[in-house]
Amino acid sequence: MVFPWVLMVTLVFILLISRGAASYENQQRLTQSHHFGIMKKHLLERARQHIDSELAEVPQSEAGFSYTYHTANGTAEADCMKESDLLWKCSWILTVHDSGDKYVVTYQYPDK
């Protein structure tokens, strides 16, 4: 009569262990996603600092400007369109390793 109870207890332990492993794996994915999000934010901040000096040198007659910023962690690509004499609208594609792309729109006011 001991056998059915041992089987039941073993089954409960297996279920608890598999739930714990799935929870741990989910937590790892969330942590990695958060890490990549922070890296993309920093990549965008750095790229925006660099693109301001580039946009300041674009001739007044130009209405569009493409820009790419590379780092060891990823790439930021921007397609900018002139909205007014002082305002540029930039559509960014941020890529960090294999975490997928993030699309962001910013407005730049380069120093002339």
pLDDT in tens, 13-62: 899 898 988 899 999 999 998 999 999 999 999 999 999 888 988 888 88
pLDDT of residue 77: 96
pLDDT of residue 61: 86
Residues 69/80, Cβ–Cβ less than 8 Å: no
Helix (H, G, I), strand (E, B) or coil at 70: strand
- One-letter amino acid of 78: A
Q: How many domains does the chain have?
A: 1
The model's pTM is 0.75
Q: Between 27 and 9, where is the model more confident? A: 27
Domain that holds residue 73: 4-108
